[in-house]
Amino acid sequence: MKTFLNLLDDFEKLTTQIWSNLESSAGEPDQPWSLAQFASMSKQGPELRTLVLRRCEPESRTLTWHTDLRSPKCQQILDDCRTSVLFWDPVERVQLTLRGTSVVRSIGPRVDQAWEQSKLISRRAYLGNLTPGTKQEQMCVNFPEEFADRPPSESESEDGKTNFGVITTRIQEMDLVILRQTGNVRAKFYWKADESGEGSWEASWVCP
C-alpha cells in the first residue's frame, strides 16, 4: 500500500492512488484493503459483515464480491441497493469509506468466470444444505463432513454453483481519512456525471 501523505496537494493523484490501491488489493490476502466491512440495510437496520474484495475496475468504478445467494444480504440488496464499504489500513493509518449501489448476479458470464477462478477450498463454502444464518443446536460449518479434511474435487464442487453469486458495487462517493501525528485530515470525493453519461470525480477537504 503506497502512502497518501505525499499526494495531499493533488486531488487527482489522490483519486488515482485510491483506485490503484484497491485494484492491487483485490484477491491479495496480504494487502490490508483485501478485506472490507460491507454494510447493507435490513428491516431491523444496518448490517455489517467482512467480505473479500475479489475484483476492482476503476474505469467503471466497481468492486466485486462473492456471496452465497441464500445469504440475507442478497435479499437486503434486492430490497435496497444502497450499500457502504469500509477499508482500513492499520500500517498507513488510512480509512476509506465508499458509498454506492450494489447488484446481485446469479447467472451470466461474470458469475461463470468468478466461479471458474475460485479455488476448490473456497467452493466448499457453497456446498451447505442450510441457508446461512439458520439456527442450530450445535456448532455447524454448513458443508458436508467429508470435506472437513480436504477440499472437494472439481466435480464435487459443482453442486455448490447454484448457491454461488457475485455482488457488484458501483461507487458514487469516497471518504478518505488519514490519521497523522500532526493532525488528521479528511477528503470527500463525489462522482459527477453529465447528461451524456460522462463524468469525473469532484473532491474537497472536509473537517475530520
Q: Hey, where are the domains in the chain?
A: 5-92+101-128+152-175
- Angstrom CA distances, 147 to 83, 102, 125, 127, stand at 34, 32, 10, 10
- Angstrom CA distances, 120 to 58, 129, 130, 153, 207, stand at 28, 18, 20, 7, 46
Interatomic CA distance for residues 30 and 43, integer angstroms: 35
pLDDT (average), residues 19-39: 97
- Asked if 177 contacts 18 with a C-beta cutoff of 8 angstroms, the reply is no
Q: What is the pLDDT of residue 5?
A: 83
What would the CATH number be for the domain defined by 5-92+101-128+152-175?
Answer: 2.30.110.10
Full-model pTM: 0.93
Interatomic CA distance for residues 126 and 165, integer angstroms: 10
The pLDDT tens digits for 136-164 are: 999 999 999 999 999 999 999 999 999 99
Of the pLDDT bands very low, low, confident and very high (cuts 50, 70, 90), residue 168 is very high
pLDDT (average), residues 154-182: 97
User: pLDDT averaged over the chain?
Assistant: 96
The pLDDT tens digits for 46-77 are: 999 999 999 999 999 999 999 999 999 999 99
Share of the chain above pLDDT 70, in %: 99
CB-based contacts of 165: which residues, under 8 Å, 6+ apart? 66, 67, 68, 69, 74, 104, 105, 106, 111
The count of residues in the chain is 208
